[in-house]
A and B are shown apart, each in its own frame.
Chain A
Amino acid sequence: MYGETSGMLRGALGELLRQHRIQQRIGGAGIHTVPVTTTVGERKEIGQQIARYRHGVLVWCHQAMRAANPRIGLEGSTGRTRGPAEELRYRLERTLRDSDVDLPTLDELVTPQRFDLVESWREAARACALGEHDFANGVGYGRLSEAQCLTVIKDAADVVRGLVSLDRRYANVPGWQPFPEPGRLGRAAATCATWAGYGEPDYTVDRRGWRPVPTLIDGPGLPGITGVLQAQHNLLLYLGHFPTAQNLRLVLDSQRNISREAARRLAPIDPVLAERWQQRGETYGRLVREARDLGGVFGTGGAAAGQGAVAATRMAELDDAGLSETQQIRRLQRMSAGIDERVCNLVEYGAAQRLYFHRVNLPRLDLDAGELVHTSQRKFVPIISAVQSELLAIVRSDLRPTPIQRKPPKGAARSRLNFEAALHHRPPPRGASPDVPSI
């Protein structure tokens, strides 16, 4: 997720921004009581290593700016025609173009480093390598709201400010390659951060981005409510494939039974919640009735129907105290809401693409079938035709769950405040103890 990777990056860079006297931290001279442990050549190599890590961070910033503000063709523009975000992106492109540093290799990203300072750089570069996946998986222009775009831009601009600040601090490292135009890059980043920080930030963007693909929970059936959750989880995954009409009917039937059993067990514990499950069961009951004449052989769905039946059976075998854990009930609710949404999408898709039909009997014989014995003529009509049942209406009005208002993760604001504090961090005066206020 974007929140995890950008949080890792801010954490590592915040650590670096609080560290001064860089030469001593990579084994150089500075304190007479601490021996020198590295040669100039070794420190030069360390500097080159840090430059590669820094290049990875810079590439991430450029990708973030492109994802949140994808204006193309900045080459013909001038400083007067570029806005704050375009200016920062332009400066980042110039810096990357003029830099002859390579990206860190995979070995360099995964091998722990000897010095804590280099290790923090490695963590920052690793977070950026992981964060690249987020921009293709939900953190991109068109998928984000305006406030979320501005939050991403502000994050990237703050990281660039930190990099420019560190660039000045590392100038004494042997063989250090400073940014080509640090002043312009720093000004562009500061302006962009101020501009993007005007409005109210939307930290729900932290919940977007790449996630590991959910997998089936195989193995023997788990006991109690966990077994129901296992089967419901597997059902949700199997519903990713389009089911035939018959299998869809079996899934609807299983969800009706699960809802009724849940309502029955929850009634003495939480009547309000039980009422909600009861309503879900009735909605599925109406869907089962309306789907009696649903036809359609396209698709699969046998596995989904099987998991639905397993879930219904396990729910029926639960004892009365089986639904007493609040957390498990919430999980069941969340999973069932996911199934509801998937069923809604499947029915709507099947109706729109004419994969599901209504079976209608006609009061005459089929004379064109080419058979010796004529059967009664049947006709399959699309769900969206004049003889449509209430199926689509129920799906749209009753079954589809209300969209969840996502809340930002707990540490989102704190992570950014800490990084902001690190950006404005100043070293304590010489001789002052950090634990005792100086007079």
Chain B
Amino acid sequence: MLLAHAVILGQARSYVAALADAALTTDASIEYDRVLLQIDFIHGDQIPGISPVPVTDRDVLFDAAESAIEDLAGHGIDSLTVELVLDMLWAARDLDAP
């Protein structure tokens, strides 16, 4: 895993975890956790740890997570897998709507 991939993956994990913690409903939190599990499943055990993120706004967190997951397609992850993860992310977002 190259540095850029590790950075993107670390960002994706950190922002999705922050979304799970900041979710308004438990169902949404569970769905975000599933997205995190799916990202980890794709990469096996070679993944960076979760870091604290500087923002707390859920919209900003979602945009950052979505962007990071989309960028994974440029690091050897096939596009279909990335699309499926994005779909899971949007499904979680629907459950999190106030």
For B30, the chain A residues whose CB sits under 8 A away are 253, 256-257, 260, 285
For A436, the chain B residues whose CB sits under 8 A away are none
What total of chain B residues lie within 8 Å of the partner, measured CB to CB?
Answer: 26
A359 at interface by CB-CB < 8 Å: yes
A234 at interface by CB-CB < 8 Å: no
| Cα distance A296–B45 in the bound complex, in angstroms | 7
Number of A-B contacts (CB under 8 A): 59
For A297, the chain B residues whose CB sits under 8 A away are 45
- The answer to whether B21 touches A289, judged by C-beta atoms less than 8 angstroms apart, is yes
A354 at interface by CB-CB < 8 Å: no
Which B-chain residue is minimally distant from A297 (CB atoms)? B45
A407 at interface by CB-CB < 8 Å: no
In the complex, how many angstroms separate the beta carbon of A310 from the nearest chain B beta carbon?
16
- The answer to whether B26 touches A285, judged by C-beta atoms less than 8 angstroms apart, is yes
| Cα distance A373–B40 in the bound complex, in angstroms | 23
- The answer to whether A375 touches B6, judged by C-beta atoms less than 8 angstroms apart, is yes
B37 at interface by CB-CB < 8 Å: yes
Q: Interface stretch among A2-10, A115-123, A243-251? A: A243-251
Which residues of A (342-377) have their CB < 8 Å from a CB of B?
A: 358-361, 365, 373-376
A378 at interface by CB-CB < 8 Å: yes
- The answer to whether B48 touches A378, judged by C-beta atoms less than 8 angstroms apart, is yes
Chain A at the B interface: mostly helix, strand, loop or mixed? Answer: mixed
Q: When A285-B26, A289-B20 are in contact, do A360 and B2 touch as well, CB less than 8 Å?
A: no
Q: When A359-B47, A361-B10, A378-B48 are in contact, do A292 and B2 touch as well, CB less than 8 Å?
A: no
Task: Give the one of B17, B26, B37 with max A CB within 10 A.
Answer: B37
Which residues of B (42-94) have their CB < 8 Å from a CB of A?
A: 44-45, 47-51
Which A-chain residue is minimally distant from B5 (CB atoms)? A375
Q: When A246-B40, A293-B49 are in contact, do A253 and B29 touch as well, CB less than 8 Å?
A: no
- The answer to whether A359 touches B37, judged by C-beta atoms less than 8 angstroms apart, is no
Which B-chain residue is minimally distant from A246 (CB atoms)? B40
- The answer to whether A246 touches B45, judged by C-beta atoms less than 8 angstroms apart, is yes
A295 at interface by CB-CB < 8 Å: yes
In the complex, how many angstroms separate the beta carbon of B6 from the nearest chain A beta carbon?
5
Partner of B45, one of A288, A295, A358, A374: A295
- The answer to whether B41 touches A246, judged by C-beta atoms less than 8 angstroms apart, is yes
Interface residues on A, range: 20 to 34
- The answer to whether B34 touches A244, judged by C-beta atoms less than 8 angstroms apart, is no
Which A-chain residue is minimally distant from B13 (CB atoms)? A292
B33 at interface by CB-CB < 8 Å: yes
Partner of B29, one of A285, A373, A375: A285
| Cα distance A374–B6 in the bound complex, in angstroms | 11
| Cα distance A256–B47 in the bound complex, in angstroms | 24
- The answer to whether B37 touches A376, judged by C-beta atoms less than 8 angstroms apart, is no
For B24, the chain A residues whose CB sits under 8 A away are none
- The answer to whether B50 touches A293, judged by C-beta atoms less than 8 angstroms apart, is yes
Q: When A246-B41, A375-B2, A376-B7 are in contact, do A253 and B49 touch as well, CB less than 8 Å?
A: no
| Cα distance A361–B40 in the bound complex, in angstroms | 16
Which A-chain residue is minimally distant from B29 (CB atoms)? A285
Binary contact readout B9-36 vs A (1 if CB under 8 angstroms, 0 otherwise):
0100100010011000010011001101
- The answer to whether A376 touches B6, judged by C-beta atoms less than 8 angstroms apart, is yes
In the complex, how many angstroms separate the beta carbon of B64 from the nearest chain A beta carbon?
17
In the complex, how many angstroms separate the beta carbon of B84 from the nearest chain A beta carbon?
16
| Cα distance A118–B17 in the bound complex, in angstroms | 73
Task: Give the one of B2, B7, B45 with max A CB within 10 A.
Answer: B45
Q: When A246-B40, A361-B10 are in contact, do A288 and B47 touch as well, CB less than 8 Å?
A: no
- The answer to whether A253 touches B3, judged by C-beta atoms less than 8 angstroms apart, is no
| Cα distance A250–B36 in the bound complex, in angstroms | 11
- The answer to whether A359 touches B34, judged by C-beta atoms less than 8 angstroms apart, is no
B1 at interface by CB-CB < 8 Å: yes
User: 4 tightest CB-CB pairs across the interface, nearest first?
Assistant: A359-B49, A361-B49, A375-B3, A293-B49
| B residues lining the A interface (CB < 8 Å) | 1-3, 6-7, 10, 13, 17, 20-21, 26, 29-30, 33-34, 36-37, 40-41, 44-45, 47-51
| A residues lining the B interface (CB < 8 Å) | 244-246, 249-250, 253, 256-257, 260, 285, 288-289, 292-293, 295-297, 358-361, 365, 373-376, 378
Q: Can you offer 16 A-B residue contacts whose CB atoms are under 8 A?
A: A245-B45, A246-B37, A246-B45, A249-B37, A253-B30, A285-B30, A288-B33, A292-B50, A293-B49, A293-B50, A296-B45, A358-B49, A359-B47, A359-B48, A375-B6, A378-B49
4 new A-B pairs (CB below 8 Å) besides A253-B33, A373-B2? A289-B33, A296-B45, A375-B6, A376-B10
